Every structure is written in C-alpha cells, then in structure tokens.
Structure 1
C-alpha cells in the first residue's frame, strides 16, 4: 500500500467487488438465518471511579445511534474522547477496568445474547494481530481453521479464502510472507487488508475496526477504507470504525459520522449533512478545508488558545446536539425499531455455528506454531546457534578432562556451568513468547479459543526443538569434556539437559504470562535463574546451606535436581586416581589402592544414588506447576 495499486487493485475496483458469500450445501449451512438489517444503541454510559478524586467519572455519557446494513460509520473525536471505549462497548468487550456500563444495544430492534452477538460480529484490533512468518494465504487458512466448524469442508474453506483474497485485492501477494523484523514482507496497507480479511472468514454481519488507518499514509488509508466501503455495500455488512484524522477523500467514503468530545455526542448523522448542521449551530465548515480536521479542532478542549474558550465552545456544541431535531430523530428511530421487533415477536437467532473443538483448535495452533518455529529464526534458529556456541566454548574450556583427583573439581564446575547456563540462556525465549501471547490475547478476544489450547500447543511445540537443542549441545560438549564414556550415561545427561531446558522455558512462560513486558520479564527471569544458581547446591553445598534458603527455595529449584542428577550420573560409577604421592582428596574404600570412588564426592555434597526416578518426578512436577500457573495467569489476565 502507499504505492500504485497492484494488478488486482484499482482497476478491479472499478468493475465490481466480489461478494463474500460462497455456496454452502444444505447440510453445511454457515451464514446466519437472519440478516442484520440494523444495529442501534441508546443511552450508552460507561462510568469509572477517578483515581485521584475517587468520584465517579463518565468515560462516555448517554450515547445513542442507529446504523443500517451496508453502511460505513466513522467514530471520530480528539484523543481521550472515548472512541475506543465506545467501540469496545458496542462490540461487547470490556470497556475499562472496574467500569460500570449502562444502556442497551439492539440488532434488528432486538436485544441479543452475548453468544449470538459474538457469532455475528468480528473485531479488528488497532495493532495487526498477524504472525510475520506466515504467508498471506496461510494467515487466512489458520483463521479459518480456528473459527469455522468442522462441518465446513476443505473445499469450502479454500473457496472462502480465495474469495477473500480477491475481494481485498491481495491474491497476488497470497504466497508472500506477512513479514518479520528480519524478513521483509507485504506493505503496511496490505497488512491492514489481511487483518480485516482474516476476521471476515466467519461472514460477520457487523465488523468493528479500531483505528484501521493507524500508521498508514493518506494513500494507503484511502485504499483500506475504500475496500471497507465496497465490502460493506456488496455484502450488506455494517462496519463501524474508529478513526483519528482522515484525509478529505477518506472522510467522504464514510456514510455516517459519530463525533465525540469528552465522552459526549457532538454529532451523529450522515456525512452529507455535516456542512448544513454545523452551519446551523454557528460553526460552518470553511471552504477548501478538510472537514475532518475542522471538526476535530472545534470539538477539542485541550487547546483553547489565548481566549481559553475551547471548553465553552465544546459544551455549546454538545448542548446544541442534545436539543437538536437530529438527536430526537435518532432516538425516535431506535424506539420505532424496538416496537416493530416486539410486534413481530421474532427474536433474532443465529444458526448454531459451534466453534471448532479443543482438539481441532490445538492441532491448528500446533501446525501454525510449527511453521512459525522453523521459519522465524528468532524463535529457535538463533537459540540453536547460541547453544551450539556455548557447547563449543564449554567443550574446549573443559577439554579432555582426566579421571584423576586434580580434575574432579573441573568436572563439577563443568556440570554446573552446563546445567545452570543452559537454563539461564532460556531468557532468549522471552521475545518469542511475548509475540505468541499477544496473538493469543487478540484471538481470544474474538472468541476463537481459550487459554488451554494455547498453553497445550505452546508446550508441545517446544518439546522437539528443546530435545534437538539438548542433543546437539550434549554431542559437542559431553564428549569433548570427557564425561563418563558410556552410552547410557550420555543419554541420561541428555535427559537432564532436556528437562532443564523444559523447566527453564516453563519459567519463562509463567513469568511472561503475568508480566508481558520484555524488560520486566527479562529482568525477573534472569533474577530467578540467579537465585536458582545460588541455592542449587554448587556454590554452597546443601549440607551447609542456610536453612531459610534450603527449605524455602532449594527444594523448589529445578536446577538443583538437574545438578545433582548430573553429578550422580558422572560420579556414581566412576573411579579417579589420586595421582603422585597417593594423597587422596576424598576418603573412600579405594584409598589403599591410591584411588577415589566417585560416590565419595557425592557424599560430600549430600547426594544419594538410586533417586533418579524421584528427582525426575519432582522436576516434571515443577514443570507442570509452572505451566499451570502460566495458564492461570492467562485465564485471569485479559490483556
């Protein structure tokens, strides 16, 4: 976008806009029985408690409106006027933390339950909820897999995706990646088209757009809204979009305008009546002026100039609307629609379009995550290289250690370094999980799935990659450092390394689910790993560790179980020579033979043999608890 229209761009638009309806057979009906002819609301008020004064404060106050099918409506107003709050209320989303919502919304003059309303609407966030490592077609495919019922056949899904690609003029970019910070993809305007198209998979009758032109130049903004307008008219969809400061040509695309200031209505009606209405109340729109900019200027109370009359002017405009004939006409229209609906006694019902089951959703998320993982080098590619570098460094620093007492401490140091720093470097997973979590939050808000499928898919997709990392790291470092030369011992080492990484990544999921901020999550995960290193048993042995740290943190430290498991794996069945002079550093039953039995080393640390199964069970329990807490955090936190 922003450049001249593509092959499917303006020329196609001049002829026709493809409708979004596809042929469903009788057994696979998908669209709702009843079309949405009108969407209206009355007396919408959102009240919160002011943090400073502790008094009730209205975010929006007594907002009413009425929209008909095929119309494109603009929500405009200065920053902080309540546009997003109103859009969220209309879309049945949380308005604000602790907010009290009053008023009613009607579809075809009838109140509709939340479930039915959710099936007939879609919401496009201000920020594109797109995965950059997917192609445009794949983005729409996974949107279909996550939202369409199983009864919709594969052929119907393909037809639906093709229709949407053509409707939005992005069929030529179908095989192009959306784009990541490393790999360039489609343009900003095309991303907005893909975002809208992905929400139209379910054939919604009402579409909410939050700042659809944010970050786009005037050309791209115009093209995005032009597609929206043609979409609304060709498919009888109601589209309500909050928009900040459109150009004149973009502003003229809208059918109706709802102008807000300070949470109150300044105007609601046809775009064509803006000039006459504001002229009647003493604020005529100057010639050769962008009407959108003019309206935003006169309803803004933040900058009043030297006269300081901006607040009074805004109050006058709000009062003029409240007593105007246009305002009364809107209220009468909403009232009349409800009366007609009561006479017909026909409650609006939707075809029972069940969402895909949890198994289907989880499988779709796994498939999508798999594609993302091998295409997005940030997710695992860079981490694999990073861990291989760590393995080479470890293997060459602790190169070919000998089974003699002079090398016992270097063996122990190598075990600590390998286990502790492998888990510490799991902080590199923070940005990838934050991106995945952001996608989940937006898709959950649209009712696609909950925390359980996301958490299960996130856990399962990481296992093969973490096992691959564990194996590659061990192949390099284990044999270079000359740990116990035994195949079973090597596989046990790999097992501990794998469980270490799974636990460390689970810690990242837990912390980042609570604090989805890169800097905060990074700091907390790093701090937690530092704590685990301190109480894990290497820096201070468990036999002399301070009781507070031992009983509060040591026993829940996953690194502690990995360290002692690796220690037992290395020393339980190995014998070390005491060297020249036969001065043995550790006393064992082999001292007379000038040798040290490895179990003597374990005794100094207080580690017993034969407990590997117990430690593995505890470690799996710790992983499960981290994931459970992460699930609880995702379930409770909605943003």
Structure 2
C-alpha cells in the first residue's frame, strides 16, 4: 500500500490499513468511516443552588455535523456551551445533572466505549506535564495512543510534522514550564494541547475553547490547520468558541448558537445573516457575524432585564418555529431510521495493556522525577536538612540512663516528621492526576496503569532519601553501633516514606485540590502520631482511637520497629545517686548498675520478635491505601 507524504496522510493511516492486516487485535477499529454525528433533544437538568428545584441548563438541543465539517458552538457565558460539548462527548455534563439525549453516529447509537475510541477531546484547561519538552509531550501522546498501531518511524514523523504545522518547531526542546522553571507561553500550550489530540487520528474531535489565550493570528492559524485536517480526512470537529475574529469564524461550516440553554440558531455559517435578517434582527454590513450574534444573545449587561429577556425569548421561539429548525429535526429523525452503513467496531473495548501503558507512563514519570525538583528534589533537600538538624541536636548520645528518653524522643521525632513532610508531594501528584483525567477520558489508559507507574517510580527515590538521611541521623546520634541495626533502621524509615507517600496519594484522590489534600494529609498524620503508642500507651488509649485508628497506623509499626531495634539489644549505664547506683528501670542487670533495654520495651508494651509480622502489616497498610486511592479514582470518574 502506497503512502502519501505529509501529516494528513499519516492521520488517515487507520482508515487505510486493511482489516485482514490487523488480525484479531481488538485494539484496532475496523475499516469504518464516520459519516455524520447527530444529536436530538439534548436536555440537562440540575438542582438549583438556592431553591434546590430542578433547573434546565440545556433544553431540547438538536444538531448534526457531517464528516469533514466544523461546527462552532457559541453563546454568552453560562449559556451551556461546555455542558453541551461534554454531553456530546459522552462525558459528565455537570455535578448531579440528569441528562436525556439521543446521540447517533451514522444514524446509530454507539456504546460509550465505542464512542471514546472514535473521538478525542481537548479541554479548556491545558493539562500538560510541565517538566516535559514540547516534543516529548507529543511523543508520549503518540506512544500511548499509537503503540502497536503504527511503526515507531511513523510516530516520529507525525510528531515532527505536527510541530511544524502548529508553529512549535522552534520550541520543540523547550519545557512546558513548572512552578520553578518558566516554559512556553499560554498560547503555545493551547496549540500543543490541540496537536497532542490530533496525533491519534480521531474521527470526531471536540475542542473546548481551542483559541483561548491565542491572539487573532495564532487563532486563525490553529483553526485553519484543524480545518484542513478535517476536510482532507473527513474529520468531524465541534468546538465551543468565544468571540472569534471574522477570518476564524468563517473557517467553520456550521454554527450552533445558544442562549439561556436553548437554541437561537443552528445552521450554516453562510446562512447566519440571511436568517437573522428574516426574523427582524438585521446584521449591519461590514460586521463580524460572531460579534453580532454574541451581542444579540448576551443580556448580562442590559439595564432593563424584562426587555432583554423578552428579546431572548423571541429569538428562541423564532428558531423553534422556523422552517430551518423543522427541517433539521426531520433530517436527524430520518437518519436515525435509515439503513445507513452500520458502524462496525471491534467486538471488545479497546484498552492499552496494563504493562505497556505502565511502562510508557513509568518512562514519562522518570523524566519528570529528575527534572522537576518539586517531585523529589525538594523533598530530598528537606529530609537531608532534617537529618543533619536531628544529628546535631541529638549529637553523640552516650548509652546511659539519662539519654534513654532523648533517644526515644529522637525516634519519635524522626519517624513522625519524615511522614509529615511527604505533603510536599501533593502538587506534583495533582499535576499527574490532571493529565491522567484527560488521558483516561480520551481512552489512552486507565487508573490501574496510572497507579502502578506512580507507585513504582517513587520506590528508588524514596529509598535514596531514607538511606542518605538515616546515615546522618543514625551515626551522629549514636544509636546502636551495629551494621545490621543500621540497615533495619533504614528499612523502617523506607517503609515510613512509602506509606506516607501512599497516604498523600489517597488523600489527593479523595479530595483533588491542593488545600483539601494538604489539610487532610496533615490531619491524618496528626492522628497517626497521637495513636502510635508513645503519647498514650495502647492499653490506656481511648477505645475509639484504639479500635478505629491504632491498628491501621503505619507510624505505630514504624515506631515500634525502631524502638525495638535500639533498646532490644542494648544495655545502658545507670545513674549515680546519693546512695550510689540508681536505676530508673528495674531489670535483671540492676545489680551490675546497668539497664537492660528490654525493660524499656516492656514499659512501652513492646517485646522482641515479631519484626516480620509488623513489616507485613505495614506493607498491607501501604497496599490498602494504594488500593483505596485506585478505587477513589475509579469512583470519581
């Protein structure tokens, strides 16, 4: 099979590949052309915030777009543009919304999974990983969507041609931008977001405010390229757009104009002036049609609310009774009952194998981990600073009775604050989660692959942090001078950090905003610290906290392991009193003026042995928190 040159030939690769060449791999779509997308009576009802009564934010919206056409959804702020776009894209319309609609491809109603395979969505916000370069962003998008579909050479060619087409060649090696390092501009991020979705050759493309942040020239160039791709590859494009310039507006084939959740016009761009002239709202010559229709439907700044509302009602009623609306509704109904070519899709949902997707995500996370110092760099510096501070505060404590309590305090302080400082990971995880939400909605991978890669990427970094910080604390403080004891200390600190990061992931999945995740993680750490057996010994702990929190408190097992490691195998010299030797703990070594550390363990309710059991329980807690984080991501679809 011959190949055409250029990006447009690459975008139709999926349609050119013969079905027989694909075998039985369900990750491919069958050789199928999407002829049209239509929707009928799209209605969305939400509870009113004040009265709690049902409120329609979209009412009986109809429309259709043929292959190769671009439709603009326009209207004043709050008219329902994004809500309609979400409904059409099979996404959640709004919180607690009740949606009724009939959405057809080629006159047939596809399953949600089939629709996701055919479509792609570019959100208003640019969900990008700031520590990747522009080219890397496109490359990973290509790997996630096209691995096994096209060759590596073809993926590279698509990336290079998209960079050139969207004017990003000079920025190919520039970082997107992080909290610490400045990157590309807002407009360049917008162009990159659109390019990243086009790389997978979707048959239906949804764009939410694709020109936001762009000047008029950049807006025209971006939409002009999208139009060329749509025409040459029979791609359906539906975009919510706000106040485009005349040249950009004329790139679209159709307009769906909304106001107050109802249709004011749905038809060709060329027919806008003729229609509004016919209903008594004449459009002046040399006027941008986009500005005219937006001024006509926007009543937010009208002084007389009743008159303004009356005008909107007139526009809505004029459209409902117009021949154009009746004809459109009839065409949609006819297509839904016609014997059009059936939509043939693979029998099973397309999914990226967990291992393949996890490895790609692991590679992406690895790049982020060493470039973005917010991920692990700042934490390494913080933990190292804490370790040096602890080592100099609890410096060279001799194994004597008066130093036994400071040693316990050092163990408590180190284990608890290492857990507390894991909250620094919140912003980095939330960035990854934002990208994951976008990628999952576009069918690139699921929560399992995301959680596996997120967990694995942290393990080596957390071990380095645990080992380096422990090296300072352990030997400067003068804990039990034994190599095996030091490695056990490192092990418990490592488990502590892994558990603390898992707690951050769980809280960030449950409450995916910075302040909420930070507050809940800090509160949970406070509870763990209070219930770890040091502040109040377990037998004396309030039954509620003992039964609800203490058994799932990973800090309790870490503290227990560290205390046993220090006191279970060491003796301490008693103090000197007026009558000679004085020992605070009555142990078997009292007659030698020594204290057996086992006696200290008994006071705290601990005993030798059981390390393997406690390690197993801690690992179980880590697994449980990760599993709950995964479930939270599934639940918050």
User: Fold conserved (TM > 0.5)?
Assistant: yes
Q: Are the equivalent residues in 1 in contact too, given 2:563–2:601 (CA < 8 A)?
A: yes
* DSSP-derived class of the 1:272 partner: coil
Q: Are the equivalent residues in 1 in contact too, given 2:89–2:206 (CA < 8 A)?
A: yes
Q: Residues of 1 paired with 2:261 and 2:303: CA distance? A: 22
Q: Are the equivalent residues in 2 in contact too, given 1:404–1:579 (CA < 8 A)?
A: yes
Aligned mate of 2:154, from 150, 156, 166: 156
1:349 aligns with 2:341: no
Q: Are the equivalent residues in 2 in contact too, given 1:149–1:356 (CA < 8 A)?
A: no
Match of residue 589 from structure 1? 588
- 1:483/1:582 Cα in 2 relative to 1: closer, same or farther (>3 Å)? same
Which structure 2 residues correspond to residues 94-105 of structure 1 after superposition, within 5 A? 94-105=92-103
Q: Residues of 1 paired with 2:229 and 2:108: CA distance? A: 25
Q: Are the equivalent residues in 1 in contact too, given 2:8–2:232 (CA < 8 A)?
A: yes
Which structure 2 residues correspond to residues 301-450 of structure 1 after superposition, within 5 A? 301-306=299-304, 308-338=306-336, 341-342=338-339, 344=340, 346-350=341-345, 354-450=350-446
Instruction: Return the offset for 1:607.
Output: 0.8
**More deviation in 537-546 or 306-315?**
537-546
Q: Are the equivalent residues in 1 in contact too, given 2:7–2:161 (CA < 8 A)?
A: no
Instruction: Return the offset for 1:571.
Output: 0.7
* DSSP-derived class of the 2:11 partner: coil
Match of residue 12 from structure 1? none
1:507 aligns with 2:503: yes
Aligned mate of 2:124, from 123, 126, 147: 126
Number of aligned residue pairs: give it.
621
Q: Residues of 2 paired with 1:105 and 1:548: CA distance? A: 52
Q: Are the equivalent residues in 2 in contact too, given 1:225–1:250 (CA < 8 A)?
A: yes
Aligned mate of 1:529, from 515, 525, 528: 525
Which structure 2 residues correspond to residues 157-176 of structure 1 after superposition, within 5 A? 157-176=155-174
**More deviation in 170-179 or 459-468?**
170-179
Match of residue 7 from structure 1? none
* DSSP-derived class of the 1:309 partner: helix
Which structure 2 residues correspond to residues 104-119 of structure 1 after superposition, within 5 A? 104-119=102-117
TM-score when scaled to structure 1? Answer: 0.92
Q: Are the equivalent residues in 2 in contact too, given 1:192–1:224 (CA < 8 A)?
A: no
Match of residue 3 from structure 2? none
Q: Residues of 2 paired with 1:478 and 1:365: CA distance? A: 36
Match of residue 569 from structure 1? 565
- 1:315/1:296 Cα in 2 relative to 1: closer, same or farther (>3 Å)? same
**More deviation in 194-203 or 602-611?**
194-203
Aligned mate of 2:455, from 449, 455, 459: 459
Provide structure 2 residue ranges, at least 5 long, that are not aligned to the other structure. Answer: 1-5
Q: Residues of 1 paired with 2:75 and 2:305: CA distance? A: 22
Q: Provide Cα deviations, 1:363-410, integer angstroms capped at 9, x if missing partner.
A: 111111111111111111111011101011001111111111111111
- 1:441/1:206 Cα in 2 relative to 1: closer, same or farther (>3 Å)? same
Q: Residues of 2 paired with 1:156 and 1:514: CA distance? A: 40
Q: Residues of 1 paired with 2:352 and 2:446: CA distance? A: 12
**More deviation in 55-64 or 21-30?**
21-30
Instruction: Return the offset for 1:338.
Output: 4.1
Match of residue 601 from structure 1? 600
* DSSP-derived class of the 2:265 partner: strand
Q: Residues of 2 paired with 1:434 and 1:229: CA distance? A: 34
Instruction: Return the offset for 1:351.
Output: 5.8
Instruction: Return the offset for 1:173.
Output: 2.6
Q: Are the equivalent residues in 2 in contact too, given 1:28–1:152 (CA < 8 A)?
A: no
- 1:350/1:160 Cα in 2 relative to 1: closer, same or farther (>3 Å)? farther
Match of residue 549 from structure 2? 553
Pairwise CA RMSD: 2.3
Match of residue 538 from structure 1? 534
Q: Are the equivalent residues in 2 in contact too, given 1:38–1:66 (CA < 8 A)?
A: yes
1:21 aligns with 2:7: no
Q: Are the equivalent residues in 1 in contact too, given 2:87–2:93 (CA < 8 A)?
A: yes
Q: Residues of 2 paired with 1:283 and 1:522: CA distance? A: 54
Q: Residues of 2 paired with 1:579 and 1:316: CA distance? A: 95
Q: Residues of 2 paired with 1:492 and 1:201: CA distance? A: 49
Q: Are the equivalent residues in 1 in contact too, given 2:139–2:159 (CA < 8 A)?
A: yes
Which structure 2 residues correspond to residues 263-278 of structure 1 after superposition, within 5 A? 263-278=261-276
TM-score when scaled to structure 2? Answer: 0.92
- 1:169/1:360 Cα in 2 relative to 1: closer, same or farther (>3 Å)? same
Q: Are the equivalent residues in 2 in contact too, given 1:42–1:103 (CA < 8 A)?
A: yes
1:213 aligns with 2:211: yes
* DSSP-derived class of the 1:278 partner: helix
Aligned mate of 2:138, from 137, 140, 159: 140
Instruction: Return the offset for 1:42.
Output: 2.2
Q: Are the equivalent residues in 2 in contact too, given 1:135–1:174 (CA < 8 A)?
A: yes
* DSSP-derived class of the 1:421 partner: helix
Instruction: Return the offset for 1:572.
Output: 0.8
Match of residue 76 from structure 2? 78
* DSSP-derived class of the 1:442 partner: helix
- 1:102/1:545 Cα in 2 relative to 1: closer, same or farther (>3 Å)? closer
Instruction: Return the offset for 1:185.
Output: 2.1
Q: Residues of 2 paired with 1:400 and 1:286: CA distance? A: 87
Q: Are the equivalent residues in 1 in contact too, given 2:118–2:202 (CA < 8 A)?
A: yes
Q: Are the equivalent residues in 2 in contact too, given 1:179–1:185 (CA < 8 A)?
A: yes
Match of residue 36 from structure 2? 38
